[in-house]
Amino acid sequence: MPADPTAFERFRLAVPEADLVDLRERLARTRWPDAGPDDTWASGVPLDALRTLAAHWQDGFDWRAEEARLNAFPQLTTTLDGERVHLVHARSPEPAALPLLLTHGWPGSVLEMLDVLGPLTDPRAYGGDPADAFHVVAPSIPGYPFSGPLRGPGWDPARIGRAWVTLMERLGYDRYGTQGGDWGSYVSREVGVVAPEKVVGVHLNMLYQRPTEDEVAALGPLAPDEEERLDQVRRFQRDGAGYSHLQSTRPQTLAYALTDSPVGQLAWVVEKFHEWTDLTSGGLLADPVDRDRVLADVSAYWFTRTAGSSAQLYRAAARAGRTLRPLAVPTGVAVFPHDIVRPVRRLAERSDHLVHWTEMPRGGHFAAMEEPGLLVDDVRTFFRGLRPT
């Protein structure tokens, strides 16, 4: 930690070679379970699928190439509210660029943002309008890869949002936008709640809604699509949220298994990349390049030993409550059809100052990895009318 906790230090990712050797050796010694009576994705990651991924992770995956992708962008660390926080700070060559605070979620990391950083910061180089440029600040959430392990408890989305306001002040940004999905959507909203005078707009590629019966009743008659979206939330809570309950209640117990077993860490994360992506387009595991993006994310958790500390966010959020506080800042939502859940617009209009809504033609939960072009275009469109003049 620097002598001045408010200072920034340059960061460059360089995992020791001994850690790569250790990973390969552990993968080679995996003690595999039996396939079980229902060896399908419905009961968890199928044995053959995980064996294939683990074999590629052991002998075919190039971590150094993924490391170089991150190190191509300027990175810093600083201390926020007692925690060491890592961030990518990619400034645009366009002097009038709008600062944009980009926040990832779980089981992601800042690595999932790498395909959007270039188009966001330098649209001219990607065939876009330079007037749409952003200075991108992409922090790693406390306790997550590159910002872990945690030193203290209580890092719920509201506290992270307050820390991000301090971060932007420290970087010298007085007016900026926010963007995020998964936990990043909660944090991005909280920044707007905490500092509405600083935030020009909040763009979300996930808006998770758990309305009460009274809130649903207040909407009046529901359209068929609205009924389906609310039923999707119920199905997820019933059949797909076991990981969330475990991480919300016993994150430390889970940490022992995932920190000691790379195949355990792989299965815990890969299941979500399978369930929450657009399988009609093949999903992120189908293409070799995309598969390596997923393995890079899993490797980041493994090398930084942050399975347990990242899960602490679930516990902190459960204790604080996940109620969406009203947001007065202009808000835009991009709905990807194969996300975990799809929000109901009329509910969103009750909690947010909604000015932009896009129903995407394809894509899922990991929008910046699955459909970076669609996400970048929507972010540009949303902020086009909100930039300070």
| Cα 55 to Cα 75: distance, rounded to the nearest angstrom | 31
pLDDT, the chain, mean: 95
What is the pLDDT confidence band of residue 285, given thresholds at 50, 70 and 90? confident
* Residue written as token pair 């600062």: 99
For residue 120, pLDDT over 90 is answered with yes
Q: Which amino acid is at 216?
A: V
Does the pLDDT of residue 290 top 70, yes or no?
yes
Q: Which of the pair, 281 or 300, is modelled with greater confidence?
A: 300
**What is the tens place of the pLDDT at every residue in 63-87?**
999 999 999 999 999 999 999 999 9
Neighbouring C-beta atoms of residue 231, cutoff 10 Å: 10
pLDDT given at position 148: 84
**Phi/psi at 165 (5° precision):** -60, -45
Percent of the chain with pLDDT over 70: 99
Per residue in 306-365, pLDDT tens? Answer: 999 999 999 999 999 867 889 999 999 999 999 999 999 999 999 999 999 999 999 999
Residues 179, 102: Cα–Cα separation, whole Å: 5
Provide the token pair at 387: 């930039």
Mean pLDDT of 199-213: 95
Chain-centre distance for alpha carbon 325: 20
Q: Which CATH class is domain 9-384?
A: alpha beta
Q: How would residue 3 be classed by pLDDT, with cut points 50, 70 and 90?
A: low
Q: Is there a contact between 338 and 280 (Cβ–Cβ < 8 Å)?
A: yes
pTM: 0.96
**CA–CA separation, 166 and 85 (whole Å):** 12
Alpha helices in 276-339 (DSSP H): 288-304, 307-320
Go through the chain and tell me how many residues it has: 389
Q: What is the dihedral of CA 25, 28, 33, 35, to 10 degrees?
A: 140
Whose CA is closest to 284, among 216, 370, 202?
370
Q: What is the pLDDT of residue 389?
A: 79
Average pLDDT score over residue span 26-53: 95
Average pLDDT value for residue range 263-274: 97
* 168, two tokens: 């932007």
